[in-house]
Amino acid sequence: MIIKRLFDLPNYGWRTAFDDLERMRREMDSLFGQVAGKAYWPAHAGVFPLVNIAEDQDHFFIRSEIPGMQTEDITISATGRKLSISGERKIASEGENVRYHRREREDGKFSRVIALPSDIQVDKIEAGYIDGILSIKIPKSEAAKPKQITVK
C-alpha cells in the first residue's frame, strides 16, 4: 500500500504534499490500532523481505532483516532503477529423533523488486550481510544527483 503510493509517483512528487498525507494516515492507523487493542505498525507492501530505505545525496541505502541466511542463497540484481532481492531461506533438518515443541521460524523462497525513485549506477552496488541484516548501498546515477549551480 505504502509502496504503491510512494513509488507510483513521478520523481517530483517525492516528499511533498504526500508526505503529510502519509504521516496522517499513519497516525490514523495507529489510533485505530489502539482502539482495537493491538500493537499496530503502518502497512507494508506485504512482500518478503520487508525493507527500510534511506537516502543521502549520493546513495540509497536498503536494509532488510533476513536472519539465518547463507550469503550464496541471496541474489541481488539491478536494472535501470529497479533492484531485485531474491533467495531462499533454508532451515536445516535436525534429524528424525527430535520432538518439536514449537515451530515458529519459517523457511521458503522469496523475491521482491524495489523500484527506486531515481536512476542508479547498477555496476557500483555494494551489499553486505551482518548479523542477519542485509544492507545494500546503491549509488545514484550522476544525472540523478543534485547539482549545485553557482550564480554568476
Partner 1 sequence: MAESKELQAKGKVEVPVSAEQTKPGPVFTPNVDIFETEKEIIMLADIPGVKTESLVIDLRDDTLTFTGEVKPTGRPDTEDILIEYQVGSYYRQFTLAEMIDQKKIDAALNNGVLRLTLPKVEKAMPRQITVKAG
17 binds partner 1 (CB under 8 A): no
Choices 66-74, 76-84, 120-128, 142-150 (CB under 8 A): range interacting with partner 1: 66-74
> What secondary structure does DSSP assign to 59-78, as a single string?
EEEEEEE-TT--GGGEEEEE
Asked if 39 is part of the footprint of partner 1 (rule: CB under 8 A), the reply reads yes
Least distance in angstroms from the C-beta of 152 to partner 1: 30
63: closest CA among 74, 51, 49?
51
Residue 118 to residues 12, 16, 141, Cα–Cα distance (Å): 10, 16, 8
Q: Rule CB under 8 A: is residue 9 a binding residue for partner 1?
A: no
Q: Which stretch binds partner 1 (CB under 8 A): 65-73, 77-85, 120-128, 142-150?
A: 65-73
Distances from the Cα of 122 to the Cα of 3, 11, 138, angstroms: 21, 19, 8
Decide: is 128 part of the binding site for partner 1 (CB under 8 A): no
Are the C-beta atoms of 136 and 62 separated by less than 8 Å?
A: yes
Kindly list the residues in this chain that would bind partner 1 in the complex (CB under 8 A): 2-3, 6, 14-15, 39, 41-42, 44-56, 60-61, 63, 65-70, 88-89, 91, 94-95, 97-110, 117, 129, 131-133
